[in-house]
């Protein structure tokens, strides 16, 4: 019998098999980390797009409803204005819960749990630090939201003290709402009170000022708010005009001048 044929029929020897396995192991050790890294990068890229979409959804929700949700209500709020399900809003691509962090000094100079905000007649002062972060970690559920300004700032600025570190598997979406609250100065130079209203709420009195005065009141309103300006007498005066607040505004009930002055709303 031909010895070559006999050896071929026997197949691989044990030593040859060990050699093949060693080569496969070496290739796996080189390739697998790169494959895993590539998958992680693709997932994080998709996650980044989702977080950007969620930031846009928060803008849409707030503009449409004149509300800012708190940590308990943000998932349902954003799901309601996007094609994303509540589960998709709440969980990232790896199935881990996202975090919704609100600056504890959003409205106050001391740390306070953010209860959410619903605009009524507007704020008399500007927010102190209106910032929100949406945090996603591909390896675990997001940590509990920071309860102090220092802890929130550390994450926002990514200082050494940050409990959440951005990286290959962690993304932080920052949302600054400072430009969402617009100052509106309302003044009345008429001898009697006139009225105004915000959105669909009832008329609010804008008292007369002293002779020659020009002072008024300032209200900080969420962008896109509608302000209805009414004629005297308050509160039954008819609607004169309505304005949409898309930038800081000055709305004044003033005289046209002349021998027989005519008062009306000036809303440049």
* 175 φ, ψ (degrees, to nearest 5): -135, 115
Q: Kindly report the number of other CB atoms within 10 A of residue 23's CB atom.
A: 10
Mean predicted lDDT score pLDDT of the chain: 89
Has residue 141 got a pLDDT over 90? yes
* 213 φ, ψ (degrees, to nearest 5): -80, 160
The residue-averaged pLDDT of 152-178 equals 97
Give all strands (DSSP E) within the chain, no chain letters. Answer: 67-68, 99-102, 117-118, 131-137, 170-176, 181-188, 194-198, 204-206, 216-222, 225-230, 239-245, 249-255, 263-266
Q: Which two tokens stand for residue 213?
A: 């005065």
Give, in degrees to the nearest 5, the angle at Cα 189 between 185 and 191: 135
> Where is pLDDT greater, at 209 or 85?
85
**How far apart are alpha carbons 26 and 233 in whole angstroms?**
87
Strands, sheet with 99-102, edge to edge from the N-terminal-most edge strand: 99-102, 131-137, 170-176
Name residue, tokens 């050896």. Answer: 7
Per-residue pLDDT band for 260 (boundaries 50, 70, 90) equals: confident
User: Tell me: the pLDDT tens digits for 40-75?
Assistant: 677 889 999 999 999 999 999 999 999 999 999 999
Instruction: Give the rounded percent of residues in the chain with a pLDDT score beyond 90.
Output: 73
> Where is pLDDT greater, at 32 or 97?
97
**How far apart are alpha carbons 93 and 100 in whole angstroms?**
16
Which range is least confidently modeled, 20-34, 141-155, 212-226?
20-34
DSSP assignment string, 24-73? HHHHHHHHHHHHHHHHHHHHHHHHHHHHHHHHHHHHHHHHHHSEE--TTT
Which pLDDT score, from 0 to 100, does residue 30 have?
A: 63
The residue-averaged pLDDT of 224-251 equals 95
pTM of the model: 0.83
35 beta partners: none
């Amino acid at each position: 019998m031909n010895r070559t044929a006999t050896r071929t029929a026997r197949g691989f020897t044990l030593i040859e098999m060990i050699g093949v396995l060693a080569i496969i192991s070496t290739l796996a050790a080189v390739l697998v980390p790169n494959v895993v890294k590539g998958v992680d990068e693709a997932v994080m890229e998709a996650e980044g797009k989702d977080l950007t979409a969620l930031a846009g959804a928060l803008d849409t929700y707030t503009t449409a409803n004149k509300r800012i949700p708190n940590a308990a209500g943000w998932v349902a709020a954003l799901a309601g204005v996007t094609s994303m399900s509540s589960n998709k809003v709440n969980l990232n691509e790896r199935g881990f819960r996202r975090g919704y962090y609100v600056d504890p000094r959003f409205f106050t100079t001391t740390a306070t749990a953010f209860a959410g905000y619903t605009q009524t007649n507007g704020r008399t002062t500007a927010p102190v630090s209106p910032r929100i972060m949406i945090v996603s970690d591909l390896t675990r559920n997001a940590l509990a939201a920071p309860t102090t300004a220092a802890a929130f700032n550390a994450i926002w600025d990514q200082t050494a003290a940050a409990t959440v570190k951005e990286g290959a598997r962690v993304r932080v979406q920052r949302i600054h709402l400072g430009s969402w609250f617009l100052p509106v100065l309302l003044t009345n130079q008429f001898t009697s009170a006139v009225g105004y209203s915000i959105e669909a709420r009832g008329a609010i009195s804008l008292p007369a000022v002293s002779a020659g005065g020009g002072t008024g009141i300032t209200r900080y309103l969420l962008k896109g708010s509608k302000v209805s300006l009414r004629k005297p007498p308050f509160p039954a005066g008819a609607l004169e005009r309505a304005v949409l607040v898309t930038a800081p505004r000055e709305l004044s009930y003033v005289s046209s001048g002349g021998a027989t002055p005519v008062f009306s709303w000036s809303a440049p």
